[in-house]
Chain A
């Protein structure tokens, strides 16, 4: 099995487009699982006809505080590094957005007043497009702060008999992106030939470098002159795997939710050649 993550420092560069194209192409004769790990704003499902979908809640730990047993000693507040607990004379307040959930409060409470509770942070949806193309995504509840538990749960759905797992990573270069790409065999960074594209690409390459991960570049909205990205790729020793040309027609199809993997002649061949 090969795990390929599709990422980009900047949002909106075409990660989802590339993830779908690649999954559609590879699933013609191989077993593919696509994971949409942009749990804050998953989009892949809007562009796919998913069949046989199953859904369930994703829950994380929350401290259940028994006020009968609690002596309001304040130890839990003291150990919580994330300031989620506020112990008052007759009550304990819990700020769920801040909780990581480390269970430190549960471990420290001398009265045994804190027990294992659960709270819902989103949903996991699993399904398939056809016999060769499996697709899972998770969606975070509005108002929740932490994407990582959902990404972890999503990745647990990898069965192991897939030929390819394609991970559509969240934008940016912080914790959710790291969680999505950290165990991939290869990461594709999608960028565009503008100064924004280059700047954010460099940040993403920096992150992957720290993680010790292999990566290559796909230039989206490519124009006659992609020098800005090409020069950097050469100096950084990174391969440019393929280019997706700038096309208003393609953008307009995308706006309707259509991704045509053979729209650009040559692109499919470049991708298949690289990933087969």
Chain B
């Protein structure tokens, strides 16, 4: 199975709208949503959940008040200033390292694990999908991403899928690094704005760091012709292929408002043609064809 990851660095470049529309053009693929703290793909692909798993997050110290003598050792050893003078743990500052627990002379601190999110395995129009939702404010998004990928790979094997398309998280930090593991091709969706270009450079550098091959989609390409031209030239110099240019249009937003993908909402539009081009390239990469029009 080939895994294609769609990322953008900057949010709001239209990554998820494009991913969902590309998916809609296939009828036998696997999908994964690795944006676990704000997953959006399910809103366009409307999954029917087959299986739910509880995701246990990092650990958290529970202090036994009967054993605690308030000696302050835990407070001293905690590297994150998470324990107050009266020995109360601030859940936001605590990183779950357990250093307090094994340094406590009274053995008053036990580390427990809490539910930090859920992982889902579902049926969708184009095939199957693995997605997840991290509880608000939880850490460990990288770990949940790894869980999503593990499940996707298992399903891919079991059902002999040839293509896995993954919607990636924003940024370049831990969830993105976790998303990149084992990916055969990263598709970077960018836009011709100063910040879009800057963020694309950072995400390209991150992919390069982890030795993942990349291709680029320029969304909103006609928003600033000068920047788009600079993008084309810069990418050509780096020998990175531009898969497609998608025009700036409100059709994506209009489609979104009806919870539809662009290829359902306006199948004959220029936008849909650009999406089709991306899907064809991805299909070719994985050695599968698009679904019959109808």
Contacts and interface: CB of A to CB of B under 8 A. Distances in A.
Contacts of A16: 195
A129 B77 CA distance: 41
A124 B97 CA distance: 27
Interface residues of B, number: 62
A58 to B, nearest CB: 14
Interface in B204-222: 205-206, 209-210, 220
A252 B223 contact: yes
Contacts of A195: 43, 256-257, 259
A174 B137 contact: yes
Interface stretch (B10-18, B124-132, B267-275): B10-18
Contacts of B37: 9, 172-174, 203
Contacts of A196: 16, 40, 43, 256
A102 B95 contact: yes
B171 interface: yes
A246 B254 CA distance: 13
Contact of A82 (B35, B97, B195, B257): B97
A255 B194 contact: yes
A69 interface: no
B195 A172 contact: no
Given A195-B43, A221-B253, A255-B193, A81 B10 contact: no
A79 B10 contact: no
Interface string A11-37: 111101000000000000000000000
Given A142-B202, A252-B224, A100 B95 contact: yes
A206 interface: yes
Interface in B31-76: 35, 37-38, 40, 43, 58-59
Given A41-B10, A104-B97, A174-B139, A46 B92 contact: no
A170 interface: yes
A102 B10 contact: no
17 contacts: A81-B96, A104-B98, A107-B77, A142-B202, A145-B142, A171-B38, A174-B137, A174-B141, A175-B137, A176-B173, A193-B257, A199-B40, A203-B37, A204-B136, A206-B136, A254-B193, A255-B191
Interface of B: 9-13, 16, 35, 37-38, 40, 43, 58-59, 77, 79-80, 92, 95-99, 102-103, 134, 136-139, 141-142, 169-175, 177, 191-196, 198-199, 202, 205-206, 209-210, 220, 223-224, 227, 248, 250, 253, 256-257, 259
Interface of A: 9-14, 16, 38, 40-41, 43, 46-47, 61, 79, 81-82, 97, 100-104, 107-108, 140, 142-147, 170-176, 178, 182, 193-196, 199-200, 203-204, 206-207, 209-211, 221, 228, 246, 248, 251-252, 254-257
